[in-house]
Copies of this chain bind each other. A is one copy, B any other.
Amino acid sequence: MKYLHTMVRVSDLDASIDFYCNKLGLVELRRRENKAGRFTLVFLAAPGDEDAQVELTYNWDPEILSGGRNFGHLAYAVDDLYGLCQRLRSQGVTINRPPRDGHMAFIRSPDGISIELLQKGEALPVEEPWASMPNEGTW
């Protein structure tokens, strides 16, 4: 038995690829368009960690993608939490829970999927501007 992926639905495929790949740093592994079913599947993973994937399902016919409370978040370990959060901010991504402790941050995808970012290994030294940055919204 082996974990394959977590599937999330996306309402705008371009915006989602921009978020998950250009901003968060995942890479696209493969893509399948199904014209009869009117959907596109895109499989993503962290570079070098291709065994644990996220599957984006884009249904061509729009629907409201509300969030629910039974799903929590996706979590990734990252090499440089401050560097990633700085880049995400510069790309317009809200850091809902800034890494005040040098250890943990939360952001959200365009469709509200909560993503936890954890510093690999030991926490980074506490430093500004993160240390005094307030939370924004929920995650």
Chain A residues engaging chain B, CB cutoff 8 angstroms = 1-9, 25-26, 45-49, 51-55, 57, 63-79, 109, 111-113, 116, 118, 120
Contact = CB atoms under 8 A, between A and B. Distances in A.
Contacts of A112: 70
Given A51-B52, A52-B51, A52-B52, A72 B1 contact: no
Of all A-B residue pairs in the complex, the 8 with the closest CB atoms, nearest first, are: A68-B68, A7-B72, A71-B71, A3-B52, A1-B46, A4-B75, A67-B68, A65-B70
A47 B2 CA distance: 8
Given A55-B75, A65-B70, A49 B6 contact: no
Contacts of A111: 70
A66 B69 contact: yes
A77 to B, nearest CB: 5
A76 B7 contact: no
A105 to B, nearest CB: 13
A74 B71 CA distance: 10
B73 A4 contact: no
Which of A3, A73, A76 has the largest count of B CB atoms less than 10 A from its CB?
A3
Which of A7, A46, A65, A113 has the largest count of B CB atoms less than 10 A from its CB?
A7
Nearest to A69: B65
A70 B52 CA distance: 19
A112 B70 CA distance: 7
